[in-house]
């Protein structure tokens, strides 16, 4: 089976997959592509916009040039999109894959154009649509011409035209169906995996009173919520715990006002900001911490909290979106009221104040709850869907 993966924003190389600088979408795409390539009888290609990242060599990756080797603004990305579409179409017509798997509406547009031209290749689409729409609402896009309507219309077209949709969680499946009127039977749930050779507990490491969180520096990740929760934690009597927030860089944190807010709340002496790091280093932070705080306003899945749990780190997460599909309240951690910084602070304090025996019990639960998430199973389930879509395709 010849499979081609299309992704526009960023490059799914091992460098990207090993870091949290580029983002979860690229990490998920690369790990899926790589593990599908390990299954017998598969030939895999990855097509993406060349943003200057180093190629891994593990896959026969095809980089399509469409802009400067920098992280481009949304407006710039839109300007370069036609070049990407034309180049990707030329490559697909040459490679002649049995199936194309797209991630994001920009890559999906390639397939929509092909379908409009009467060229039909079986097509599976991973939906990040609901996130895009919610970001439009939450962040208030200022780029000219890039509105909620533009993104929503594009996502809707991809979801309606493609042969099958893959959602990352049950809640994402239901929300995709509700928001875009896609029949549930057209959407399969295939959750991302965890690399358990990297994310695992180490009992030889003494846990510190550290609350850790990680993610891209974007408004939807809502780190200000966490800083406010942390300041309340201090007012509730916590003396010596520290907060580590991992991801992005100093410029991005400044634009979000995180250092300024920490100073204003009087907690800057207890907060440490760390730039995006490799997954191996990220796991060392997880293994040091006593609790992981998950504070996004919305997640299709929420891979980082699952990776933290695989390291035996109990969680406290806001009760929303994908978080609710991949964890159980009271087993390995707790959910807090989605709109209450105080409730999050109280739940974190509850874990911090556990005696050693009860904390260890919660830690074991956290680790055991991640056993079902692994990349090889993710690849097998995806490959099964590919085979079915190819078989059922009538062109």
Q: Tell me, what CATH number does 73's domain have?
A: 3.40.50.2000
- Same-domain status, 176 and 229: no
> Do 95 and 183 lie in a common domain?
yes
> Do 9 and 131 belong to one domain?
yes
Residue 198 in domain = no
Is 63 buried (19+), middle (13-18) or exposed (0-12) by CB count in 10 A?
A: middle
Residues 124 and 8 in one domain: yes
Decide the pairing of beta strands 99-103 and 2-7.
parallel
Residue 154 belongs to some domain of the structure: yes
DSSP H or E stretch at residue 350: helix 341-352
- Judge contact between 369 and 332, C-beta under 8 A: yes
Contact 305, 327 (CB under 8 A): yes
pTM over 0.75: yes
Q: Per-residue pLDDT tens for 271-330?
A: 999 988 878 899 999 999 999 999 999 888 889 999 999 999 999 999 998 899 899 999
Number of domains in the chain: 2
In this structure, are 315 and 384 located in the same domain? Answer: no
What is the reported pLDDT for 180? 84
> What is the extent of the structural domain holding 9?
2-193+374-392
**231 part of a folded domain:** yes
Q: Does residue 349 sit in the same domain as residue 378?
A: no
**Considering the domain boundaries, does residue 107 fall inside one?**
yes
Instruction: Report how far residue 277's alpha carbon sits from residue 375's, in angstroms, rounded to the nearest whole number.
Output: 21
- Distance in angstroms (rounded) separating the CA atoms of residues 76 and 199: 36
Q: Based on the fold, state whether residues 268 and 252 are members of the same structural domain.
A: yes
Among 311, 304, 291, 307, residue whose Cα is nearest residue 359: 291
Residue at 73 is within a domain:
yes
Q: Clarify whether residues 222 and 166 are in a common domain.
A: no
CA distance 297 to 168: 17
Which residues in the chain land under pLDDT 50?
11-23, 52-60, 65-70, 129, 133, 136-138, 140-147
Q: CB-hemisphere CA count at 13 Å for 32?
A: 26
Residues 220, 149 share a domain: no
Q: Are residues 147 and 102 in the same domain?
A: yes
Residue-level pLDDT at 217: 86
Distance, CA of 77 to chain centre: 20
Taking alpha carbons only, the member of 117, 114, 49 closest to residue 29 is 49
Nearest to 298 by CA among 146, 179, 120, 161: 179
């Amino acid at each position: 089976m010849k499979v081609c993966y299309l992704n526009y924003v960023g490059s799914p190389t091992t460098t990207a997959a090993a870091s949290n600088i580029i983002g979860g979408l690229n990490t998920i795409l690369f790990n899926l592509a790589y593990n599908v390539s390990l299954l017998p009888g598969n030939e895999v290609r990855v097509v993406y916009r060349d943003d200057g990242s180093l190629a891994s060599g593990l896959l026969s990756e095809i980089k399509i040039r469409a802009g400067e080797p920098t992280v481009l603004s949304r407006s710039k990305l839109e300007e370069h999109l036609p070049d990407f579409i034309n180049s990707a179409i030329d490559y697909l017509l040459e490679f002649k894959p049995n199936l194309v798997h797209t991630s994001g509406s920009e890559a999906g547009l390639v397939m929509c154009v092909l379908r409009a031209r009467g060229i039909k290749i079986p097509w599976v689409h991973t939906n990040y649509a609901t996130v895009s729409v919610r970001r439009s609402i939450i962040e208030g896009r200022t780029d000219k011409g890039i509105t909620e309507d533009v993104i929503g219309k594009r996502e809707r077209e991809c979801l309606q035209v493609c042969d099958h949709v893959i959602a990352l969680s049950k809640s994402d499946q239901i929300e995709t169906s509700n928001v875009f009127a896609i029949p549930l039977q057209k959407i399969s749930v295939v959750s991302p995996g965890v690399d358990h050779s990297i994310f695992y507990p180490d009992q030889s490491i003494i846990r510190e009173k550290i609350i850790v969180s990680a993610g891209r520096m974007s408004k939807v990740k809502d780190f200000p919520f966490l800083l406010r929760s942390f300041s309340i934690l201090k007012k509730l009597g916590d003396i010596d715990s520290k907060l580590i927030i991992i991801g992005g860089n100093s410029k991005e944190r400044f634009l979000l006002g995180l250092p300024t807010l920490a100073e204003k709340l009087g907690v800057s002496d207890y907060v440490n900001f760390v730039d995006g790091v490799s997954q191996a280093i990220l796991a060392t932070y997880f293994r040091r911490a006593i609790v992981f705080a998950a504070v996004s306003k919305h997640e299709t899945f929420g891979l980082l909290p699952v990776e933290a749990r695989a390291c035996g780190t109990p969680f406290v997460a806001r009760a929303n979106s994908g978080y609710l599909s991949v964890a159980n309240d009271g087993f390995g951690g707790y959910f807090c009221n989605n709109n209450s910084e105080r409730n999050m602070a109280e739940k974190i304090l509850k874990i911090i104040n556990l005696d050693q025996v009860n904390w260890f019990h919660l830690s074991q639960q956290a680790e055991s709850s991640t056993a079902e998430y692994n990349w090889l199973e993710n690849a097998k389930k995806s490959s099964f869907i590919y085979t079915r879509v190819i078989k059922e395709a009538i062109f």
